[in-house]
Amino acid sequence: MSSEVQYLQTQLNELQDTMSAHKILVSEAIDKAGENKRALEAAHSRLDEIKSDLLLVRNGQLTKKDFEEILEVSFNKRLVLFMKRVAFTTIAVAFTAGVTWVVEHLTVK
């Protein structure tokens, strides 16, 4: 009978040791899961930041349409400036010609 009690005591001790080791492993696994969760949240946060930065870059890029609009506005401004210069020059020449004509025809010879 004594050997059965020893055998059961040995089995009980091994079971307690196994349960203690299991408890330690479960505790470590829970700690690691917490660390992984924090790392995953940090990675998601960084991914969101990168995504928003990429959207800002994409929205800030000059597209073909934008470039064409800039050229169109620039060309129109140059065209209007050229037309103003031509008009001013024409008016100045006409005024000078008018003054010259008046001076020639109205002065006493």
Report H helices in the chain.
2-60, 64-106
- pLDDT at res. 108: 62
Alpha carbon dihedral 52, 57, 59, 62, in 10-degree steps, equals 180
pTM of the model: 0.43
Q: Which residue has the higher pLDDT, 64 or 14?
A: 14
Average pLDDT, stretch 71-80? 80
Q: Which residue has the higher pLDDT, 34 or 106?
A: 34
Percent with pLDDT over 70 in the chain? 97
Q: What is the DSSP letter of 61?
A: S
